[in-house]
Structure 1
Amino acid sequence: MSKLGTGALFPSKLQTFSARPSTMFGLLPTAVSLAVGLLGASVPVSAAPLAGPTVKLDSATVTGTSLLGIDRFYGIPFAEPPTGNNRFRLPVPHPAYNTSFSATSMGPGCPQQEIDLPLPAGLPADVVDLLLNTVFTTIFPDDEDCLTINVVRPAGTAPGAKLPVVAWIFGGGFELGSPQMYDGGSIVSRSVALGEPVIYVSMNYRVTGECSSPFTNAGREMRALIVTQCLAFGFLASQEVKDAGVGNLGLQDQREALRWIQKYIGAFGGDPTKVTIWGESAGAISVSLQMLANGGNTEGLFRAGFMESGSPIPVGDITNGQKYYDAIVKQTGCSGSADTLQCLREVPYTQLKAAVDASPGIFSYQSLNLAWLPRTDGVFLTDHPQKLVQQGKIAKIPIVSGDCDDEGTLFSLSTLNVTTEAQIRQYFQTEFLTTISTTGLDSILSAYPQNLLAGSPYDTGILNALSPQFKRIASFQGDAVFQAPRRFFFENILGGGNANVWGFLSKRFKAVPILGSFHASDILNVYGGGEMADYLINFTNNLDPNGKGKTITWPKYTTASPTLLTFQDGLIPQTLSKDDFRADAMKQITQVLLDNPV
C-alpha cells in the first residue's frame, strides 16, 4: 500500500479511531505542527482566579470568576429544563431569578451519544491530531437539563457600558456540540487589545440527542477518534411533530437564548441593540435560519450575522423525516398509542436511547443527507429555506459568510466503497437524493465528472484519491451543502437590496493529506488567534469587518464584483479572489436541489 498523498488508490475498508481529548483548541497539547501557532493562543494558564465579579439579575446576585482581565459567568439557565413533559416541547422562558447563585462553571452539554468517525487506515497521526483539535470531540458531562447560557466580558465592565455583543452558536451537524468546546476568553482578550471590546455569549441548544455515554479512551496507539452524535430531541421530524407545532426545537432554543440576551445582557454591560449572531457549520446554518424566521423579522434580537460554512440549506418539509420518526415509534413500543408524540415523552430513557441509536448520523453512509436537521415546520420556517430566500423573506442585515475550500472531504470518507459509475448512480438515487429524476442525476454526474484533477481536495492533481470516486463525491458534497447554497444566498439577497455582504474562502491547511482545507479548519482562524478574529470583532463593533488589526482591505461582495477574501497558506496569508469557480456546476446542482430538497 502506498503512503497517503501519492495518488494511489486505497482500500475502501475503514478503521474507526478512538481517542478523546477533554476539550479543544489547545486545552490539550497537540503535536500538529500545522496548527501549533494557532492553537497556542487559547491555552489556559494555572494562575489563581481573583475574587468573583457579580451581576444582579432580577433579585438574584450572580457570582462569576475573573482571571487575567476576563470576567466569566457560566452555566446560567435561560429556560426551564426540557425534561419530563417538557421533552419535545417549545422552550419555556426561565422565571425571574430570585435566588442568588454561583456561575463559575459551564452547564452540561445537551445529552449526546458516542459514534465513530471512520478514517482510512494509514492516515498520518498529525492529521488525526488536527481533527481532535478542531470540532470532533466528546463533551462531558451531559444532561437533559442543559439549556444554559454563558457570558464572557472584559473584567470590571460596568452595567451601562453598552458594549457590542457577539453571540456564538456552535456547530456539529445538528447532532453534536456544546459551548464547552470553545474558549470565548480569547475573543474578548483580543477585542480589548484592539481597543474594540466586545462581550461574548455562548448558548446551549437541543441538538438531535438525549443519551449518556461512558468515558471511553482506547489510547492513541489505536488511533480511535470518538465523536458525538445526538439523537432526535432537538429536530424530531414527522407529521405528528408538525401538527403539534413543536418542530425545530433547537432553533427555538436559540431564539429563546437571544430573548434572554435582550432582557439581561445590560446587567453585564452589553448593549442589546448591538448583537451579532455568529456560528460555524450547523451554527452558521442556524444563523441564516434565524434570519428567515418570522418572515425575516428579527424581533430586534440581533443586528448582524457572521457565518462560517453554513447558509440556508436545500431542505424540504418536516414530514420528510417521517420514516425516522416511525422507526423510533415502532422500536419504543409507541405504535399502538393514540398520541405517539406524548408516548415518546413518557418512554423510559434507556428504551428511547436504544431506539434512536440506529438513526444515521453525519458520518454514516448517507452522510450529509442527515436524518435530523431543520426542516419546514410551518411555524419557525414557513417554507423551504431557499424558497424563503427567493421570496425575499429574510432579514436585511449586514452579513459575513464563507466556506472552506474542501468542505466535502471529511464527509466522504464513509463512501469509499462507491467506486464505479453504476455505484455512484445508485448511491445518489438510494442514499442522497431519493426523489431525483434520471435527467437530474445525469445533470449532476455531468457537472461533477470522474476527473481526479477536478475533484476535492482541489488543486491537488491526482493526489489524495482514496477511491476512484472519492474526490468526485467530496466535490459534490462540498458544493451541494456549502458552496452552492452560499452563492445562491448571496445572489438572492443582493437582488433583494441587501448591500452589506462580505464573503470569504478559507484555503488554509491545503497540504493536509486526503482532507485539504477541510470543514471546520477555519475555526482555528478565530478561536486560535488568527486574523478572522479581528474581522469578527470589527464587524461586531462597526458592522464592517474592516478596521483595526486588518492586513488587507476586505471589499463588499457585489453582483458586479463577487469578491472573496481568501485565506491561504504561505508567505501571502490573504488575497482577493473572484467567486466564479465551478459556476456552471453549481447552477445545475442548485436547481436540482431546489427540485429535490432533503
Structure 2
Amino acid sequence: MTQIKAPLGPTKMFFQLLIVLALSTVLISATTAASTVQLDGVTVTGTSVGSVQQFLGIPFARPPVGNLRFRLPQPVPAYNRSFSATAFGPSCPQQKFVIPVLKGLPQVIADDLINGIYSVVTPSSEDCLTINVVKPASATTSSKLPVLVWIYGGGFEFGGTSTYDGSGIVERSIRMGSPVVFVSMNYRLTGFGFLASKEVKNAGIGNLGLQDQRQALRWVQKYIAAFGGDPTKVTIWGESAGAISVSLHMIANGGNTEGLFRAGVMQSGAPIPVGDIENGQVYYDSIVADTGCSGSADTLQCLRTVPYGTLKAAIDKTPSISAYQALRLAWLPRADGVFLTDHPQRLVQQGKIAPVPFITGNCDDEGTLFSFSTLNVTTESEVRDYVKNTFLPGTTDAQVDQLATHYPADITQGSPFDTGILNAVTPQFKRIAAVQGDGVFQAPRRWLLKNTSGKQDIWVYLSKRFKILPLVGSLHGSDLVNSFFLGQELQDYIIRFTVKLDPSGTGLLDFKWPKYATGNPNQLIFLDGLIPQIVGKDTYRQPQMDFLTQLTLQVPV
C-alpha cells in the first residue's frame, strides 16, 4: 500500500472554495431593492441585485403534506393574493448521513464534504415545493429570452436550490450579450420522493421527485413569460442526480417532452442501470415496520398519516449514499410502469428518447468520492464478495471473474486515473473507485451516446481538472467549479447552448467544441495547466465499459 504524504491543504481548500462559492451568491443578496412581476393578476415582489432580479420561494405545487403525502404533485390554483418572493423556500427532507469511521485524509474529506457543503441546504420541510426565477433586470414580458432550468444533484437523497441561486449565470449571460432567464426548483428526495414497492407501483405514484420536476416545468410553461422568458426555448440542466433527472425526462413518456423543453445538459449523469420499482420493496417494508404500519390493510395510506418526525426517522435508518453499499442507492428513480415504462437503459436501447440536442460529460474520477465507505475491502476475495453480494447482487462467479479481469488489482490502472502508484490508500481503493465511477457514471453515458449518435446533435466533454487533489483526483462534482460557480469555459458553453443550441462561440479566439459522432467520437477535455482545453476522442476503457453495461442490463439496481 502506498503511503500518502500529500498535505491536507489542496483538498481542504477545494471543499472550502465550493462552500464559499455556494454561499456567496446567497449573501450578496443582502443589499437589494424591490422588484415585481404580475402572476394571475397579483403582484409578486422579489429583489433587485445589480443587473439581475430574483424571485425566490414561489410555490409551484400544493404542499405535499397530510393526505397529499406520497401523491402526485398537485398544481397550485391561480395565485389570488400578492406575496413576497424574497427568500429561498426550505429544502425538501434530507437523508441523514452516517459517515463511516475513517482516519487521516479520508476523514478530512468526508468531514469537509458532509459537514460543510451540504449544511447550506438546511433548513428543510415537508412543505418544500417551491421554484425560483432569476432574470435580467431589463427583461420585460415581451423579451422572450431563452430559459435555463437547473436541477440540483445529491444522489436523490439531499440537496436544495439555496446552494445555487443562479445570479452569476444570468449576470454572465448579460455580459456575453446572450441574456437568459434562470430557473431552479426543489423536488422531493429520499423516501419522500422515491418510495418504491409493489404498493407504490399499484397506486401509480412512483418517482414523485421526478414528477415534481415535471410539474415545475409545467409551471415554467405557464408563467415564465411574465419574467421575460420564452416557454418554447427551455433547456434543462443538471449535475449528478440532476443530470440523471434530465436524462430521465428525455426518456419519460416514451420520449415525449410534452413541449416542456427543447434541449438538455447533463454533467455526470445519464440513464442509470436501475430496474423495476419493486426492487425497492425491502426499504418500503422497513419503514412500514418502523412506523407501526405493518398491521394496516393499506400500508401506503397509513404512511400518509404517520407524524413527520416518525416517518423521517424510519427513512433515516435506511442506507445513505455514504453507507457501505455506496452507489447502490436505497432511494432513486426506478421503472414504475407509468412515467418510466421500462428500465431506463432498455428505453434508451429501444430508441424511446426525445430527439433533442444535448451536452453530456463526466469528471475523470467519478468513483473516488464514493469509495471511502469500502476502505475495509482490502483483498481480492473481499472485492469479489463486495461486488457479488453488495454492489451488484445477482452476478455470477463467472461475471465477477470477467469484471476482475477488466478492472485488475494493479493500482496504476485505478482511479484517480493516470496517477501511477499514488493515492492507493488501500490495495483495492483505486480499483473499487474505477468500477464505481465507470459503472454508475461513465458507462451509462457511453450507452446513451451509442444509442443516440446520428439522431440528434451531441457535444461531449471530460473534466480532468484538480488531479492534484490527493485520493479523489478529478472527483465527482468538481466540474461545477467550471460550470456553475466561476463563470469559466463550461458555463459560457452552456449559456451559448441555451441561446442558440450550439455551445461554440463565433469569435476568432473562441475555442470550437466539435460535435460527437459514433465514427468521430470527439470529446472536449478540460485540463489543468497552460493548455486548459483540448479535443480528444471518447474511446478510453471501451471494453471495460461495454462489459459493465451488459452486466448491469442483466442485474440492474
Normalised TM-score (structure 1): 0.88
- Per the TM alignment, residue 353 of structure 1 is displaced from its structure 2 partner at its CA by 2.4
User: Match of 2:58, as an amino acid?
Assistant: I
- 1:200 paired to 2:165: no
Counterpart Cα distance in 1 of 2:18 and 2:414:
33
User: 1:567/1:551 Cα in 2 relative to 1: closer, same or farther (>3 Å)?
Assistant: farther
Q: Where does residue 31 of structure 2 map in the other structure? A: 48
Q: Where does residue 498 of structure 2 map in the other structure? A: 540
User: Match of 1:531, as an amino acid?
Assistant: E
Matches within 5 A, 1:399-548: 399-494=358-453, 497-526=454-483, 527-547=485-505
- Per the TM alignment, residue 2 of structure 1 is displaced from its structure 2 partner at its CA by 8.1
Structure number with greater CO (CA < 8 Å, separation at least 6) is 1
Unaligned runs of 5+ in 2: none
Q: Where does residue 69 of structure 1 map in the other structure? A: 51
- Per the TM alignment, residue 48 of structure 1 is displaced from its structure 2 partner at its CA by 2.8
- Per the TM alignment, residue 4 of structure 1 is displaced from its structure 2 partner at its CA by 2.5
1:236 to 186, 195, 198: 195
Counterpart Cα distance in 2 of 1:161 and 1:133:
42
Aligned positions, number: 549
Matches within 5 A, 1:221-300: 232-300=191-259
Are the aligned partners of 2:495 and 2:503 in contact in 1 as well (CA < 8 Å)? yes
User: 1:331/1:126 Cα in 2 relative to 1: closer, same or farther (>3 Å)?
Assistant: closer
Q: Aligned with 2:21: secondary structure? A: coil
User: Match of 1:167, as an amino acid?
Assistant: V
Q: Where does residue 4 of structure 1 map in the other structure? A: 4
Q: Where does residue 346 of structure 1 map in the other structure? A: 305
Q: Where does residue 229 of structure 1 map in the other structure? A: none
User: 1:403/1:5 Cα in 2 relative to 1: closer, same or farther (>3 Å)?
Assistant: farther
- Per the TM alignment, residue 156 of structure 1 is displaced from its structure 2 partner at its CA by 2.8
Are the aligned partners of 2:95 and 2:315 in contact in 1 as well (CA < 8 Å)? no
2:143 to 141, 156, 161: 161
User: 1:421/1:2 Cα in 2 relative to 1: closer, same or farther (>3 Å)?
Assistant: closer
User: Match of 2:354, as an amino acid?
Assistant: A
1:148 to 117, 130, 134: 130
Counterpart Cα distance in 1 of 2:188 and 2:309:
18
Structure 1 residues 288-331: Cα deviation after superposition (integer angstroms, max 9, x where no partner): 00001110000000000000000000000000000111111111
Counterpart Cα distance in 2 of 1:409 and 1:260:
37
Are the aligned partners of 1:90 and 1:246 in contact in 2 as well (CA < 8 Å)? yes
Are the aligned partners of 2:40 and 2:78 in contact in 1 as well (CA < 8 Å)? yes
Matches within 5 A, 1:210-229: none
- Per the TM alignment, residue 45 of structure 1 is displaced from its structure 2 partner at its CA by 4.0
Q: Aligned with 1:26: secondary structure? A: helix
Q: Give the 4+ runs in structure 1 shifted more than 6 A.
A: 20-23
- Per the TM alignment, residue 107 of structure 1 is displaced from its structure 2 partner at its CA by 0.6
The structure that is helix-richer by fraction is 2
Q: Aligned with 1:439: secondary structure? A: helix
Q: Aligned with 1:594: secondary structure? A: helix
- Per the TM alignment, residue 355 of structure 1 is displaced from its structure 2 partner at its CA by 1.8
- Per the TM alignment, residue 47 of structure 1 is displaced from its structure 2 partner at its CA by 6.9
Counterpart Cα distance in 2 of 1:47 and 1:251:
32
Q: Where does residue 390 of structure 1 map in the other structure? A: 349
Are the aligned partners of 1:276 and 1:302 in contact in 2 as well (CA < 8 Å)? yes
User: 1:570/1:152 Cα in 2 relative to 1: closer, same or farther (>3 Å)?
Assistant: same
Structure 1 residues 436-484: Cα deviation after superposition (integer angstroms, max 9, x where no partner): 1222211211111101110000000011001111000000000000000
Unaligned runs of 5+ in 1: 8-16, 29-39, 209-231
Counterpart Cα distance in 2 of 1:581 and 1:371:
30
Q: Aligned with 1:53: secondary structure? A: strand
Counterpart Cα distance in 1 of 2:29 and 2:343:
49
Counterpart Cα distance in 2 of 1:386 and 1:150:
32
Are the aligned partners of 1:23 and 1:181 in contact in 2 as well (CA < 8 Å)? no
Identity %: 60
Q: Aligned with 2:175: secondary structure? A: helix
Counterpart Cα distance in 2 of 1:454 and 1:531:
29
- Per the TM alignment, residue 127 of structure 1 is displaced from its structure 2 partner at its CA by 5.7
Counterpart Cα distance in 2 of 1:525 and 1:429:
37
RMSD: 2.3
Counterpart Cα distance in 2 of 1:387 and 1:587:
15
Q: Where does residue 578 of structure 1 map in the other structure? A: 537
User: 1:487/1:2 Cα in 2 relative to 1: closer, same or farther (>3 Å)?
Assistant: closer
1:59 to 34, 38, 41: 41
Q: Where does residue 19 of structure 2 map in the other structure? A: 24
User: 1:328/1:304 Cα in 2 relative to 1: closer, same or farther (>3 Å)?
Assistant: same
Q: Aligned with 1:76: secondary structure? A: strand
Counterpart Cα distance in 1 of 2:21 and 2:101:
22
Structure 1 residues 118-154: Cα deviation after superposition (integer angstroms, max 9, x where no partner): 4842229996797479954452221111000000011
User: 1:439/1:23 Cα in 2 relative to 1: closer, same or farther (>3 Å)?
Assistant: closer
Counterpart Cα distance in 1 of 2:295 and 2:253:
36
Q: Aligned with 1:115: secondary structure? A: coil
Counterpart Cα distance in 1 of 2:2 and 2:547:
36
2:74 to 68, 92, 97: 92
- Per the TM alignment, residue 548 of structure 1 is displaced from its structure 2 partner at its CA by 5.8
- Per the TM alignment, residue 114 of structure 1 is displaced from its structure 2 partner at its CA by 3.7
- 1:587 paired to 2:557: no
Counterpart Cα distance in 2 of 1:171 and 1:539:
21
User: 1:245/1:124 Cα in 2 relative to 1: closer, same or farther (>3 Å)?
Assistant: closer
- Per the TM alignment, residue 43 of structure 1 is displaced from its structure 2 partner at its CA by 8.1
User: 1:419/1:357 Cα in 2 relative to 1: closer, same or farther (>3 Å)?
Assistant: same
Structure 1 residues 175-228: Cα deviation after superposition (integer angstroms, max 9, x where no partner): 0000001130000000000000000000000011xxxxxxxxxxxxxxxxxxxx
Are the aligned partners of 1:25 and 1:133 in contact in 2 as well (CA < 8 Å)? no
Counterpart Cα distance in 2 of 1:94 and 1:22:
38
